[in-house]
C-alpha cells in the first residue's frame, strides 16, 4: 500500500517520496528580487531534508508591487542566474524543484515601489477592489485599492510564456501555475472579481479561459508532463468565494479541462478556517469537501492535497487512494529535515518563529528562515 514515503511518477519525473514542500512566501530575495545565498541555503536544507518535490515560493512573472517586498522573480537573466544555483543544489541533494509562477493581479498596490518601477497600473480582470490587505511598508499601512481592468489579457499570458522560458533556462524540473489564494488566475475564475462581458468573463467557459490559455502556453514551453497548477476552490483568502453551486460548477469544469490536458499534477487547497477572513460579519470562504467534489474529475494528472495536513492524515489518504501526494507548508518552515523526521519517527516539535516568517527590515535573513536545526 502506498504511503508518504513511497515514490511517485509525477509527469516526466519520479519523486522519491510523496512529501511535497508547498510554495511559501518568505520575501527574502534582497536587495530586490533576485535569488540570493540565503535562498540557496534555505532550499538546499530542505532538499537534503528529504522533500520529494520542492515548489518554490510564489515567483513573480513580472515586476509587481505586492504586500510582500523582495519576493523573487523569474523574468530576466539575473533571475535565471540566481535560480540556477538553487536548482543545481536541489538536484545534487537528490530532490526535484518546480517554479511557482505568480501574478498577484488586484492585490498589488500602485504606491509600492516595485509597482511604480514597473510603469504599469495594478491589473485585474475587472475594476473591483478586494476587501482587506495591509501594505506594511507604506505610510498608514493601506489596504487594497480599485485596480485597472486588463484591456487584453493576452498580454499577461505572454508574460507567463516569458517566465516559463526563463524557468526552463534556470534548470527547474517544471512549473506550477499559481491559480489559488485570490491571485490573478483565481480572480478570473471567480464571479465576485470578474464581471467582464467579453470572452474572458460571464460564463464558466469564459471565466476559465484565462487559466486554460495560460496553461496551454506553459505546455508549449515545457510539455504537459512538466506543467502543474494549484487551485483553491473554497476561496476565502484575499476576498474570494462564490455560492456553492457556482463554485462546484466552475472548479468542476476547470479541473476536468486541466486533467484532459494531461498535466503532471493538480494541487487543491482544502478549506482551512485560519485563512478564511471574516468580512461583513461572516466567513468569506465556501467550505466544502474538495476531495469528494473534485477527485472524480482527476483521471490523468496526479492529485496533491494541501491545507493543514498532518503526516499521519496524509498517509491514510494516500493509502486509500484519495490523494496521490501531500503538500506541506508550515511543517517545512521549522523542520528543514521534515521528511527524514517522519521516516525516523522523530517529533515535529520545532517552535516556529512566527514573528520572522516574513522578513523584517534590519533582521538577518537567516533568522526564522535557515536557523532551524535538523534533528539529531
Instruction: Give the residue numbers annotated as catalytic, written as ranges.
Output: 183
C-alpha cell at 46: 530542505
Q: Where are the beta strands (DSSP E) in the chain?
A: 8-10, 13-15, 19-21, 53-55, 59-60, 96-102, 123-124, 148-149, 174-179, 227-231, 265-269, 278-279, 282-283, 302-306, 325-328
Nearest to 85 by CA among 123, 43, 139, 136: 43
| DSSP-derived secondary structure letter, 275 | G
* 45: CB partners within 8 A, 6+ apart: 336, 337, 370, 374
Neighbours of 347 (CB within 10 A): 8
- Please report which residue ranges of 14-124 form alpha helices under DSSP H: 37-48, 77-92, 113-118
Asked if 311 contacts 340 with a C-beta cutoff of 8 angstroms, the reply is: no
Amino acid at each position: 500500500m502506498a504511503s508518504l514515503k513511497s515514490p511517485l511518477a509525477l509527469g516526466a519525473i519520479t519523486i522519491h517520496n510523496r512529501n511535497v514542500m508547498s510554495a511559501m512566501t518568505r520575501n527574502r530575495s534582497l536587495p530586490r528580487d533576485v535569488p540570493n545565498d540565503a535562498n540557496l541555503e534555505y532550499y538546499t536544507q530542505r532538499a537534503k531534508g528529504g522533500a520529494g518535490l520542492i515548489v518554490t515560493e510564489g515567483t513573480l512573472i513580472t515586476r509587481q508591487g505586492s504586500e510582500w517586498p523582495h519576493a523573487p522573480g523569474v523574468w530576466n537573466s539575473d533571475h535565471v542566474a540566481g535560480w540556477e544555483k538553487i536548482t543545481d543544489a536541489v538536484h545534487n541533494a537528490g530532490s526535484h524543484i518546480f517554479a511557482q509562477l505568480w501574478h498577484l493581479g488586484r492585490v498589488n498596490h500602485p504606491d509600492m515601489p516595485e509597482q511604480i518601477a514597473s510603469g504599469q497600473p495594478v491589473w485585474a480582470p475587472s475594476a473591483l477592489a478586494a476587501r482587506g490587505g495591509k501594505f506594511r511598508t507604506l505610510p498608514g499601512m493601506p489596504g487594497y485599492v480599485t485596480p485597472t481592468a486588463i484591456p487584453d489579457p493576452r498580454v499577461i499570458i505572454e508574460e507567463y510564456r516569458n517566465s516559463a522560458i526563463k524557468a526552463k533556462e534556470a534548470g527547474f524540473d517544471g512549473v506550477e501555475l499559481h491559480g489559488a489564494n485570490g491571485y490573478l488566475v483565481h480572480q478570473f475564475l471567480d464571479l465576485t472579481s470578474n464581471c467582464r462581458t467579453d470572452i474572458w468573463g460571464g460564463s464558466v467557459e469564459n471565466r476559465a479561459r484565462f487559466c486554460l490559455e495560460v496553461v496551454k502556453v506553459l505546455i508549449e514551453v515545457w510539455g504537459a508532463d512538466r506543467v502543474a497548477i494549484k487551485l483553491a476552490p473554497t476561496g476565502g483568502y484575499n476576498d474570494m468565494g462564490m455560492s456553492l453551486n457556482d463554485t462546484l460548477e466552475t472548479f468542476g469544469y476547470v479541473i476536468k479541462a486541466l486533467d484532459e490536458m494531461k498535466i503532471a499534477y493538480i494541487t487543491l487547497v482544502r478549506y482551512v478556517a485560519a485563512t478564511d477572513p471574516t468580512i461583513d460579519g461572516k466567513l468569506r470562504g465556501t467550505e466544502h469537501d474538495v476531495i469528494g467534489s473534485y477527485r472524480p474529475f482527476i483521471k490523468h494528472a496526479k492529485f496533491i492535497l494541501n491545507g493543514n495536513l498532518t503526516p499521519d492524515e496524509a498517509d491514510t489518504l494516500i493509502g486509500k487512494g484519495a490523494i496521490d501526494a501531500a503538500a506541506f507548508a508550515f511543517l517545512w518552515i521549522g523542520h528543514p529535515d521534515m521528511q527524514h523526521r517522519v521516516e525516523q519517527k522523530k517529533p515535529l516539535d520545532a517552535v516556529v518563529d512566527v514573528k520572522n516568517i516574513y522578513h523584517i527590515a534590519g533582521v538577518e535573513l537567516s533568522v526564522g528562515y535557515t536557523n532551524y536545526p535538523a534533528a539529531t
